[in-house]
Structure 1
Amino acid sequence: MILRCTKKVLDLLDTSPLRLTESRPTDEDWYMNLLWLDRQKCLLLTHAGTLFSLVVAGAHKADLRSIGRYAVRAIETELRSEGLPSDILGPLDPDRVVLAKTASRSVLGFMNDIALHLRYQISAAGGLGHSDISTLNQRLRRTLHNYGGTYAYPIDRVLERQQPMTRI
């Protein structure tokens, strides 16, 4: 699994450029950004091909020492919450997570849009302490977005992968 991190995340992880992979971007990559929401570090993860996203509130630098385990656990938790198999978006092996720089301005723009939605919803709820993160995550995946010229819900893009291929 390739985890494409913003500069903010790479700085938080104290990652040397020598430890980053130079692989070509694919729709199977995951992107991670650091957000400050209600004065707490939060991590936003987004799957490049489907825009399936999740936010993890209250991230601590110590938790991120094993970034592969942290990211995979968060992704698996959210996939389970949607009743989806953990491998629907590709294999999730915490020991095989490779870090890379971000490579898609489209995905980053989408993530900036998500951050704006999160800030609004958290403010409307009275702060992060009054927000239900599970509900926020489900809403993220049920917000209509244009990606590649097609409007779709991220959860529907994921469900399309679950449909068996039929031959005509």
Structure 2
Amino acid sequence: MILRCTKKLLTLIGPRQLIDRPPDGEDWYANLLWLSGRKCLLLTHAATLFTVFEADVRAADLRDPGRLVTGLISRELRREELPADTFGSPDPAAVGLAKTADRSVLGCMNDMAFMCETVTTRSGGLAITDIADLNQTLRRNINSARGYQPPIELTAERLRATR
């Protein structure tokens, strides 16, 4: 798995060997958000825009980004009642870091970040926001970058095509 990180996230993670490969639909993108003064992580699959939001990420959590990311993705796949291998093998040791490379994915992530901020503000703050509900909302939001199909539907189509 290639995890394409924004510069601010790479800075927080610290010096690492980065993979230099052209972007691929199987890549995951990661961005660091600050909501209510707290570090949050936003992950998005390039092809489907399946998104995972996690609040209260600590710098220590990012020392092993593979373990953190695969754990979060696995948790959200379980919540959606999808197979653990929907996006390939969830092997933390197989996660490589790279710089972001697809502006359309980044644009979608910016929209999702704004949605996260809006939802948490309207609910009265990050501390009382239902994060599971927010994640489900993100995956059911349509986006023009993928033909106005919700990420959860694109993920289901992907499963049908590979099974």
Give the TM-score band, short-chain normalised.
over 0.9
Q: Determine the structure 1 residue equivalent to 2:75.
A: 77
Alpha-carbon spacing, 1:9–1:165, altered in 2? closer, same or farther (3 Å): closer
Among 43, 46, 50, the alignment partner of 2:44 is: 46
Q: Determine the structure 2 residue equivalent to 1:12.
A: 12
Among 147, 150, 154, the alignment partner of 1:153 is: 150
Cα shift at 1:90: 2.1
Cα shift at 1:15: 2.3
Question: Which runs of 5 or more structure 2 residues have no equivalent in the other structure?
Answer: none
Question: Which runs of 5 or more structure 1 residues have no equivalent in the other structure?
Answer: none
Structure 2: distance between partners of 1:65 and 1:89: 23
Instruction: Using structure 1 for the length normalisation, give the TM-score.
Output: 0.94
What RMSD in Å do the two structures reach over aligned CA positions?
Answer: 1.3
Structure 2: distance between partners of 1:145 and 1:104: 15
Name the % identity.
50
Structure 2: distance between partners of 1:160 and 1:120: 29
Instruction: Using structure 2 for the length normalisation, give the TM-score.
Output: 0.96
Matches within 5 A, 1:1-168: 1-16=1-16, 19-148=17-146, 150-163=147-160
Structure 1: distance between partners of 2:159 and 2:41: 27
Structure 1: distance between partners of 2:162 and 2:124: 45
Q: Which structure would you say has the larger Rg?
A: 1
Detail structure 1 runs of 4+ shifted over 2 Å in the superposition: none
One-letter amino acid matched to 1:160:
E
